[in-house]
Amino acid sequence: MSVFGAYLRLARVGWVLVREGVVSALPTEGMPPLARTAHTLAGLFERRRASKEDRSDRLARAIERLGPSYVKMGQFLATRPDVVGAEIAVDLSALQDRMATFPREAAVATVEGSLGRPLDELYVNFGDPIAAASIAQVHPATVRDATGERQVAVKVIRPGVRQRFAHDLEAMYAAARLQERILPNTRRLKPVEVTRTLEQTTKVEMDLRLEAAALSELGENTGDDPGFRVPKVDWERTGRDVVTMEWIDGIKMSDVEGLRAAGHDLDRLADTLIQSFLRHTLRDGFFHADMHQGNLFVDPQGTIVAVDMGIVGRLGKKERRFLAEILYGFITRDYQRVADVHFEAGYVPSHHDTASFAQAIRAIGEPIHGQPAETISMAKLLTLLFEVTELFDMETRTELVMLQKTMVVVEGVSRTLNPRFNMWKASEGVVGDWIRDNLGPKRLLTDLRDGAHAALRLAEAAPEIAAKAEKLSQDITSMAEKGLRFDAETAEAIGRSEARHSRSGRLALWIIAATLVYIAWKLT
């Protein structure tokens, strides 16, 4: 029944998107003939009031109708222009958490249930919600401790959101599998893996203890950084469904006029924001992956404070080195080196020609070098770089796409503060220092140290490795003599799997037929 329910929910999603005019507003360029026909038919069923609106407005209203799970999915897909396309990603980026608040009484019950204590033992007062998102909402509160009373922000999980998301996720998986089956050329984008990533990131985001841990980690990493910080966590009042953190008295970065009226140096804020992001990415390999204007405040001292750490990104040491070499190659116009790095990292399959890939990279880099410095966008460079990857079968790299999208957002925020913002000049010091420390002589010392540690761990594990190798050899010899055999449990599991797939196929046909009958009935 879960398969049947998933397809029914998927049919409902499609119907809402059609009725709200989202499907008919999609660009038809590159669509196969059958898809263009469906696109035309979709226009016959949309609400008349939607026809004069922008696509982003239609999309926002449709996703809000579908509920919190789809708001979260829309925000997640805004970080994946490789999957939904650059234009749709921009539309989804504008999607805000315009969710209705849930009652204060429900929030109180959630807080007490999560923390196991009465509300009056936790907070001196607990106010009504001031902001609501797809997963949680925020309440102002006051706590009393040894230092006296202080104001805090309390983030409380939305009741029932986990169950709703689990059900909606089945429909998302069904859509991803259909996409892979119907559009084989999109398999390189790994839609099922993208859905799996959405599932994992959202499960993490729904455990507010993990968001608190992310705030704590970024706070430790940035403790000595100039002009940037995150709120402190009140761990005594934090659990799976609630996180209590320092209240931030500041001006949102979206309020440019308010920042200017308060006397803040907007050019300095723009530089500090991009420099902070690059430090987190290159130095720490851990960055806030949702740094839009609504999540950024400026306190009275002029320090940028980032909140809402539900979505974070990580880069390993190897990925950071490749990223720096790619950026440095573009800066120095060494396109062959940029191409070589892509092949060394395994981003481009080895059967392609590096010289041809370098030629494609040159087609991106040369026009950018012909522009004035203040018009050169690092985010645009990364976006153009991605556009050529389809020609070379480059598979999706989730961590790099997340980085690219965050860089687009951060640079956009900086440009709203300073329209003449020079990305290269602002980032030169941070990127230059990192390259000197990690791609120069210091890199050799670091590699030697890491190699020595790895060799020591290998030596410690040698006896266990030898024992496993001996057992593997014995198993292979046994299979060669007696053949490969399954135990009874494995054989039974294989039979159940085959039967389930056969039933799923028949159910899918019945669901499609039922959906067509339903639509025909609605039209009569």
Rounded Cα gap, residues 297 and 302, in angstroms: 9
Rounded Cα–Cα distance for residues 404 and 77 (Å): 13
Residue 128 catalytic? no
CA-based nearest residue to 273, from 284, 285, 265: 265
* 3-state secondary structure labels for all residues of 269-289: HHHHHHHHHHHHHHHHCEEEC
Cα–Cα distance measured from residue 231 to residue 251, given in angstroms and rounded to the nearest whole number: 15
Residues 6+ away with beta carbon under 8 Å from 259: 251, 253, 266, 269, 298, 417
What are the percentages of helix, strand and coil residues in the chain, rounded to 5? 65, 10, 25
Length of the chain: 524
Burial class (CB in 10 A: 0-12, 13-18, 19+), 284: middle
* Active-site hit among 91, 168, 241, 290: 290
Q: What is the DSSP letter of 253?
A: T
Other Cβ atoms less than 10 A from the Cβ of 96: the count is 13
d(CA 25, CA 281): 36
Give the separation between CA 210 and CA 158, rounded to whole angstroms: 16
CB 287 within 8 A of CB 294: no
Helices of type H across 234-373: 256-261, 266-278, 317-332, 335-344, 354-369
**Hey, how many other C-beta atoms are within 10 angstroms of the C-beta on 418?**
17
**Dihedral sign (CA 183, 188, 190, 191):** negative
Q: Coil, helix or strand for 146?
A: coil
Instruction: Quote the CA–CA distance of 297 and 316 in Å, as a whole number.
Output: 29
Distance of CA 457 to the CA centre of its chain: 34
Contact between residue 297 and residue 279 where contact means Cβ atoms under 8 Å apart: no
Q: How far is CA 343 from CA 266, 322, 326, 383, 456, in A?
A: 40, 10, 12, 19, 30
Contact yes or no for 73/92 (Cβ under 8 A):
no
**What residues act catalytically?**
290
